[in-house]
Chain A
């Protein structure tokens, strides 16, 4: 089959690989119809996630048709149309049973490596480095889906791929980011990053009853999407001081909750500060560029919530612990526990409460995946979200 493989920093290729087969009794094989490039795939593309190997198949957002199931999979049959959550979760460990699917205790066969970096191992993730399992990803014609009796959600025929594939990651991730804010009536939520996850976090914050949503980015076309589809106000940090503007907008209180939808490759309006972290990251004395996180902490109202859904991999520098501690802030975070959101969010789509596909800007055939990575990386052609059709 054809599959998109990581070939080194800033290099992906569509190559021929063997077709996947059932390896565990709870596996299913899915013939992929639509897959997507995630912002977090760009972290791999840029070489910021350790433990990648040349030839690794990328992709953790995909959907398609079940073509084969292992003997222990009784809820699916060939022909079912499914979307697959990006964290691989067994469904039976303590974490899974508490709904914390992205920290499944059993799904990372390389847990020993992850423990050395993170203390304990999170779940395995499709196509996301050997640190997180060494699983082949879904930017391919077929994928093996472990624990198929737990993860995949059957999708009704009247929900198009453009909407359903977003249930694999970005919509649940954005939604969880908003949910962790504990939004009450009258509250103001600020979102750093107007990529697919930030835009869907902003839209979810509105769904969950936020009075005002403020989105911060530097690309006018993305800020426009936030205004038009998430009912958000916007700040372009290339043009305005973010903290001053937020204080002014909230009459000095600061946002009640701040969502970091940027993660480890942030940018900063101040060239000197950006250069400082960029240099530390380049010399590997810091693994992240945590501008959004620092700013979110400083901006947040005292006693408010900082919700982190942007991806981080290692250690951050100059974490404003004094502000965080003295002002009684709360931080909530995590890779999304997608399995617990797929069904309720599908129902919100079916009820017409939200159409998450407003983020989709490009649809390319799988063979053009390298081009998709390039235009997403360079933000060319007003790129927000690239879907690959197979």
Chain B
């Protein structure tokens, strides 16, 4: 019933993008078949037709290319197989360098052309391998959670409040603002540590009035994230079960660490607190504050309570 996991973030959930690795596989296949079927022609083309050793090396290189081809065309672990191509490129460039050292004239010119072509392919291989590796690691970093709270309001009231995306910062502690650009699209700004901001655009991709709202970040966002909130009538006429599923993939590097900090060491606890604040806002009218927790519910604040005394004028 809840298909958030499979439909929301194609850049994270769909098959790992395999077009480029597959193209490299086809290139390997062509090179491998060529080297095995016509080693003499290939030797002439590359300028090593004067070497007896080349007659043995070229089919060996061809066989190796076929191994790359099988791995890349099979589509599993494209990053790993692309890196084997990079290693093969390095070997080929070494051989070419040695061959070029003792040749002159036309043969040297052909070897230079071949070296340039292999160097270009090596650069492409490296780029493909790195991209595929990043995609795989991003998937490994995805954080998912499902958290629910019961709110003593009707599903319609709870839905209405949440559907106005600009209300979200009233109970989501890490959000600074959400601006609704139109009925579907919105721009989110989250507070980061040390005054840094993390921003993204999101769109509502499924909206079932009084029942559920599903949203996701627009493709290309550095912090891919998606969520669905369902408003289910609580049994026994006790209001609404507000059930949230969230997924996000913090990027690597410094920005990723900042995003991870937004959600703290216990991301589930933070979202649970967000839902508690949602309940407070809907039931009690606003986020409840005490002298020890002047900003309301927050895991961080619970760990670092100030004494239960009125705040000094400077902190109001």
Is the pair A93, B152 in contact by a Cβ cutoff of 8 Å?
A: yes
Neighbouring A residues of B310 by C-beta, 8 Å: 17-21, 136, 144
Number of A-B contacts (CB under 8 A): 130
Does A371 reach chain B (CB closer than 8 Å)?
no
Does A290 reach chain B (CB closer than 8 Å)?
no
Is the pair B308, A137 in contact by a Cβ cutoff of 8 Å?
A: yes
Neighbouring B residues of A91 by C-beta, 8 Å: 284
Neighbouring A residues of B293 by C-beta, 8 Å: 109-110, 130, 133-134
Provided the pairs A92-B152, A110-B302, A135-B291 are in contact, do residues A18 and B309 lie with their beta carbons within 8 angstroms?
yes
Neighbouring B residues of A250 by C-beta, 8 Å: none
B100 to chain A, nearest CB (A): 69
A92 to B311, CA, bound (A): 27
Neighbouring B residues of A113 by C-beta, 8 Å: 302
- Chain B binding surface SS class: loop
Is the pair A23, B307 in contact by a Cβ cutoff of 8 Å?
A: no
Does B294 reach chain A (CB closer than 8 Å)?
yes
Of A52-60, A170-178, A339-347, the one touching chain B: A52-60
Is the pair B291, A134 in contact by a Cβ cutoff of 8 Å?
A: yes
Neighbouring A residues of B301 by C-beta, 8 Å: 109
Is the pair B284, A90 in contact by a Cβ cutoff of 8 Å?
A: yes
Neighbouring A residues of B291 by C-beta, 8 Å: 20, 57, 134-136, 144
Q: Which residue of the partner chain A has the closest CB to B311?
A: A18
Neighbouring B residues of A110 by C-beta, 8 Å: 290, 292-293, 297, 302, 305
Is the pair B309, A57 in contact by a Cβ cutoff of 8 Å?
A: yes
Neighbouring B residues of A127 by C-beta, 8 Å: 308
Is the pair B286, A53 in contact by a Cβ cutoff of 8 Å?
A: no
Q: Which residue of the partner chain B has the closest CB to A20?
A: B310
A112 to chain B, nearest CB (A): 6
A309 to B239, CA, bound (A): 31
Interface centre among A21, A93, A127, A147 (most CB of B within 10 A): A93
Count of chain B residues with Cβ under 8 Å from any Cβ of A? 36
Is the pair A56, B297 in contact by a Cβ cutoff of 8 Å?
A: no
Provided the pairs A106-B284, A130-B292 are in contact, do residues A112 and B305 lie with their beta carbons within 8 angstroms?
no
Does A117 reach chain B (CB closer than 8 Å)?
no
A residues 66-105 near B (Cβ < 8 Å) are 72, 90-94, 97, 105
Provided the pairs A23-B289, A106-B284 are in contact, do residues A18 and B299 lie with their beta carbons within 8 angstroms?
no
Provided the pairs A18-B311, A56-B308 are in contact, do residues A112 and B272 lie with their beta carbons within 8 angstroms?
yes
Does A388 reach chain B (CB closer than 8 Å)?
no
Does B265 reach chain A (CB closer than 8 Å)?
no
Interface string of B274-316 (1 = CB under 8 A from A): 0010011001111011111110110101100111111111001
Does A25 reach chain B (CB closer than 8 Å)?
yes
Neighbouring A residues of B150 by C-beta, 8 Å: 94
Is the pair A90, B288 in contact by a Cβ cutoff of 8 Å?
A: yes
A19 to B312, CA, bound (A): 8
B170 to chain A, nearest CB (A): 13
Does B125 reach chain A (CB closer than 8 Å)?
no
Is the pair B238, A105 in contact by a Cβ cutoff of 8 Å?
A: no
Is the pair B152, A97 in contact by a Cβ cutoff of 8 Å?
A: yes
A146 to B286, CA, bound (A): 11
Does A107 reach chain B (CB closer than 8 Å)?
yes
Q: Which residue of the partner chain B has the closest CB to A104?
A: B284
A107 to B283, CA, bound (A): 11
Neighbouring A residues of B292 by C-beta, 8 Å: 53, 56, 109-110, 130, 133-135
B308 to chain A, nearest CB (A): 4
Neighbouring A residues of B308 by C-beta, 8 Å: 53, 55-57, 127, 130, 134-137
A residues sitting closer than 8 Å to B (CB atoms) are 3, 5, 17-21, 23-26, 51, 53-57, 72, 90-94, 97, 105-113, 124, 127, 130, 133-137, 144, 146-147
